[in-house]
Amino acid sequence: MKLIVGLGNPGVKYEGTRHNAGFMVMDAISEKLNVSINKKKFEGSYVKTKIGNEDVILLKPETYMNNSGFSVRACMDFFKISREDILVIYDDLDTPVGSIRLKTKGSAGGHNGVKSVIACAMGEEFDRIRVGIGRNPQINIIDYVLTRFRPDELEDLNHSVEQAANAAILAIKQGFPKAMNRYNVKPKKPKVKKEEKENTKDLYPNNGKDEIYRVEENKNTNE
């Protein structure tokens, strides 16, 4: 049995906020599987379903982000799911809007929801799909993750949510390495006019090598 967890905050107040990208992906997965995540237990909402021949639990913790691990642990214990059979989906500041990153194990990277899951699952050895929400240096991070996506970001957001949902389903059907190979791709740089090339140095320091590093780090399971 597998457990797919999407992290977010419950309630209308937080719907559509950047921190709820994990919930958005869970809704997309449930729609593709034609099920509803509406059963109440484990301090959250869940549904038991199948992906291919695999029994799968879809879980949306409702403990608020910082205590997500309590919901995950309760579900793990009830269904006797091992840490290695968990897939956690959440928002990522270091990934641009419109992109996703898949990674096997690693630290929380400053994400309090993931930090809680690591603590309650008693280890970092679980798969993750990170959904890009970007950054805004003019807004404090705590405030920024609770903002809603701008209208001009919605097309890219919808694309990344769709990709993350497809990646999660593929990971269950064919394994996480297969999903990583298909969906861990380098983000495309925006096209610029010839006279604007000098300005792109600020947008892509080190000629985009920082983006390459983010892809390569997902291949290193020792991080």
Residue 65 C-beta-side C-alpha neighbours within 13 Å: 23
CA 12 – CA 125 distance, rounded (Å): 32
| Residues 6+ positions from 80 with CB-CB distance below 8 Å | 1
* Residue among 60, 57, 46 at smallest CA distance from 14: 60
Name the residues annotated as catalytic. Answer: 19
Report how far Cα 118 is from the mean position of its chain's Cα atoms.
15
Q: In this structure, are residues 96 and 134 in contact, taking their beta carbons and an 8 Å threshold?
A: yes
Q: Which helix (H) or strand (E) holds 113?
A: helix 112-121
CA 174 – CA 171 distance, rounded (Å): 5
Token pair of 143 as six digits:
């405030």
* Residue among 153, 147, 160 at smallest CA distance from 25: 160
The length of the chain is: 223
CA 74 – CA 59 distance, rounded (Å): 11
CA 123 – CA 117 distance, rounded (Å): 8
